[in-house]
Amino acid sequence: MDLGQCLKGRVALVTGCGRGIGQAIAQFASRSGAAVGCVDIDESAAGEAARAVTASGGAGLALGADVRNLGDLIAAADAVAARFGSVDTIFASAGIYPAAPLEAITDEHWDMVLSLNLKGVFHTIKASLPHLTKHGSGSIVIVSSITGNRVGYPGLSVYSASKAGINGLIKSTALELAPRNIRVNGVEPGTVRTPGVEAMGEATLARIAAVIPMGRLASPTEVAAASVFLASDAASYITGQTIIVDGGQTLPELPLSLSLS
């Protein structure tokens, strides 16, 4: 999978780069020509992501930061700008999805998920905004989900709320930042074969894949490709939008009587 050097000369900051989709975005952005600031709450995981970028010939910088802490992200954005000269491309992918039935959800559970998934995106935007504004243009791509905006799943009510909130944030910030030539978009993945999802076991994954029209889960790289496209000049007139990357998972299934097969 290759989009060429569509981010050549860009400087990207990627949150949640230590694993899964964020890790794939950091690698894909680097292969597409961007210098990459690899941000993760796990500093050692951020270091591994940055080393993978440099090992493949790119330019990477590892930064430990908790997206729930605005000061951490301001420091990270400043460090990336100091190292590479600017920050013009943001990929906000940090997130968690702990499952719990409604009766078991505590205020602490609610606050943890919303603080990391939703407020963390707000912090990422706010911390990077001075650099994007100074640069005179920029692109922000946020990893949302089909969960919350398109579909719901039992046990993921808090996660769903956070992702629905992200989609609203995408639209409002895109409208506000368009006059500054800063675009804001998102990707809505379906079920992706990340380490967290793989922990559910192959039998469960096979049952999920069976109800996806394309018959399989997405790879993190497929979500990364859509994210990098949205950040690139190929999407220069797209803002306030999300791309669904789900293999047809949200498409309605035709009744057998209407099937063409």
Query: Whole-prediction pTM value?
Result: 0.94
Question: CATH no. for residue 196?
Answer: 3.40.50.720
**Active site residue ranges:** 159
pLDDT for 253:
66
State how far the Cα of 239 lies from the Cα of 43, in Å rounded to an integer.
32
In a domain, 47, yes or no: yes
State how far the Cα of 190 lies from the Cα of 151, in Å rounded to an integer.
10
In a domain, 118, yes or no: yes
Total domains present in the chain: 1
Instruction: List the structure tokens of 167.
Output: 């989609």
In a domain, 250, yes or no: no
137-193 pLDDT per residue, tens: 999 999 999 998 888 888 889 999 999 999 999 999 999 999 999 999 999 999 999
Query: Of all residues in the chain, what percent are helix, strand and coil, respectively (each to 5)?
Result: 50, 15, 35
84-131 pLDDT per residue, tens: 999 999 999 999 988 899 999 999 999 999 999 999 999 999 999 999
Domain span at residue 92 reads 11-244
Number of other residues whose CB lies within 10 A of the CB of residue 59: 16
State how far the Cα of 39 lies from the Cα of 29, in Å rounded to an integer.
14
